Amino acid sequence: MSLTASPVGLDLSTRLRRSRGRSGRVFSVNSKLTEPELRLLETAAAHNGKAVSEWAREILIEAARRNGPDVILVELVATRMLLVNMLKMIGQTRALPEAEYTKIHAEVQKVKRRIARELAEQTERLNTTKES
């Protein structure tokens, strides 16, 4: 069996044809960047094997669709809350009955998104203050 490279077609209409069902992209969003910011974006795009414009487009759309704090942050907050509550009980040398754990777990599930959102907002305020 021999491997041969097939010639790549240079037909411009074929190369520029968009995927079926996808509408044409005709709108632009622009932003001014410092040189270090541009390098940061170029590095991130290259790490993902994409052009800066395509990578930035995907990131912007993903951010716009996000509804609330990052899922990982929410679950991390929930884990931390459970751990803190359980360690507090252990520190008080109290047993942790299953009913008590269930109650703590239910409370954590109820408030984890709100607390994660508050933490994300607090972090954003701190970052904004540092940049000023």
For the chain (132 residues), the mean pLDDT of every run of 10, in chain order, is 48 58 81 94 94 92 79 86 84 78 87 86 80 68
> Per-residue DSSP letters for the chain?
----PPPPP--HHHHHPPPTTPPPP---------HHHHHHHHHHHHHTTS-HHHHHHHHHHHHHH--SS-HHHHHHHHHHHHHHHHHHHHHTT----HHHHHHHHHHHHHHHHHHHHHHHHHHHHHHHHHH-
Distance between CA atoms of 64 and 44, rounded to whole angstroms?
19
Query: In terms of domains, do 60 and 75 share one?
Result: no
- Residue 26 included in any domain: no
pLDDT computed for residue 132 by the predictor: 67
pLDDT computed for residue 25 by the predictor: 81
Query: In terms of domains, do 98 and 124 share one?
Result: yes
- Residue 7 included in any domain: no
- Residue 102 included in any domain: yes
Q: Decide: pTM greater than 0.85.
A: no
pLDDT computed for residue 71 by the predictor: 79
pLDDT computed for residue 55 by the predictor: 93
Domain around 45: 34-66
- Overall number of domains in the chain: 2
- Residue 19 included in any domain: no
pLDDT computed for residue 10 by the predictor: 53
